[in-house]
Amino acid sequence: MKSDSLNRCTGSPLLSLVMAGAVLLASSASVYAQAMPEPATHRLTHAEVMHELEELEAAGYNPSQGDDGSYPADIQAAQEKVAAKHRAERDAMMNAGQNGQAKPSP
């Protein structure tokens, strides 16, 4: 046995149409939000890749060794050294800026 208020809500064709439209609108908005493309990622230039390789080689990575069994470990160690160098440079520039000193030019 249904209550009177439920019978009134489901009995009106106009109300049913409005409710169905609201459901469709809400579901289409969520589908649209999911279909939005992610922002394009920055594609590296050849110069950027070459600079990164030079930094890795300066940190001890030797790409000419090939797969000598230490491949993942040696490049990961070089990447960590380069990251530490970049952090130190960034921290030095931030400290120089906080002290009111001129920032060194790159």
Domain ranges of the chain: 4-35, 46-98
Q: Is 73 left (phi over 0), alpha (psi -120 to 50) or beta?
A: alpha
pLDDT tens per residue across span 69-102? 888 889 999 999 999 999 999 999 999 888 765 5
The overall average pLDDT reported for the chain is 78
Tokens of residue 91, six digits: 């921290």
Average pLDDT for 37-59: 90
Give the number of other CB atoms < 10 A from CB of residue 106. Answer: 5
This prediction has a pTM of 0.53
- Does the pLDDT of residue 1 top 70, yes or no? no
pLDDT at residue number 19: 74
